[in-house]
Amino acid sequence: GRNTLQIFTQDINQKLTQRVTLRNDLPEAILNEQFELHYQPLLTRAGNIHGFEALLRWNHPEKGLIPPDLFIPIAEETGQIIALGQWVIERAARDFLTLEPQLPPHCRMAVNLSPVQFHRPSFFNTLSNTLAATGLSASSLELELTEGILMNDTDAAIASLHGLRALGVSIAIDDFGTGFSSLSYLRHLPIDKIKIDRSFINSIASNSKDAAVVQGIVALAHHLELVVVAEGVETPQQQQQLAALNCDVFQGYLFARPMPFAALQTWLELHRQH
Ligand code: C2E
Ligand code: CA
Ligand code: CA
Ligand code: CA
């Protein structure tokens, strides 16, 4: 009806205005380093620390903390994701090195990689230079990529993945299960880990079909010797069921929310006393 239409156009206008504002503010934000990383722990089934995922936030001077879904697509369109993504890797590397003395062995810092970053021919060299400059060991870094990176030039993407793994960096497929691809592509991929998308985890306790999907994914992934992460674990029921289905690693609000670096240091101290 008339009212609905009005609300609808208003909503679209608001979103457009917001997008334009963010787009205009982004160059300055990059110059003034208005960004911060929040870190979310990943835990093994036994409750030990497996690693952390770095999640980007924009601390806008007027609008406050802006979530990545609102500005990363813009930064990808404008190409600013290159500078931003580079900043993320450097910041995460330095923060990880600060924590490292307190961490159990084999912990990793995971960063999300935009397809725009991944497909740049210079990405490999930039990354290995960053590792050398920060002193982060390649085996402490994990790159999270979505299935979408394989969409265009699969052979080139697979070659790049081989190169990264030869460097010692590990690779996780993010949001697994939401992509277009068939499961069969998995066996061709030089990867270490899959992260089952939150949408499956959400309904696992209430929807037996989703539980069956997760069970199938875990069985297949283990057959291929991949580590399986369940993301977005929010309830003890989900945790129990995922443990019963043999998921290896858990991430979600049930254990810890993404938090600023200072809060992560406190969290680590408390976690170590357990
Ligand atoms: P993602 O990689 O799938 O990250 C997981 C998202 O789920 C994060 O949202 C996290 O805060 C949220 N989350 C974690 N546990 C739970 C839970 O138990 N329940 C619920 N409902 N949500 C949970 P966030 O931080 O808003 O990030 C959204 C997306 O933005 C990320 O999805 C990732 O695709 C992208 N992103 C974040 N940081 C970066 C970055 O540095 N570079 C790039 N290219 N993308 C990034
Ligand atoms: Ca991720
Ligand atoms: Ca994800
Ligand atoms: Ca996601």
pLDDT digits (tens, 9 = 90+) for 139-175: 999 999 998 887 777 889 999 999 999 999 999 999 9
Give the residue-averaged pLDDT of 178-189. Answer: 76
76-101 pLDDT, tens digit each = 999 999 999 999 999 999 999 999 99
Percent of the chain with pLDDT over 70: 95
Bridge pairing between strands 141-146 and 108-112: parallel
What's the pTM?
Answer: 0.94
238 ligand 1 Cβ < 6 A: no
Determine the pLDDT at residue 150: 76
Distance (Å) from CA 68 to ligand 1 centroid: 7
pLDDT at 192 over 80: yes
What spacing in Å lies between the alpha carbon of 28 and ligand 3's midpoint?
Answer: 28
How far is the C-alpha of 140 from the C-alpha of 199, rounded, in Å?
28
Report the b/e string of 71-86 with b at 16+ CB within 10 A.
bbebbbeeebbbebbe
Percent of the chain with pLDDT over 90: 74
Q: Is the dihedral of CA 106, 112, 115, 117 positive or negative?
A: negative
CA separation for the pair 54, 140 (Å, rounded): 13
Closest ligand to C-alpha of residue 74 is 1
106: left (phi over 0), alpha (psi -120 to 50) or beta: left
3-class SS shares of the chain: helix, strand, coil, % to 5: 55, 20, 25
Which pair of structure tokens corresponds to residue 254? 């049930």
CA 36 vs CA 39, 171, 241, 256, 264: distances in Å: 10, 23, 34, 18, 13
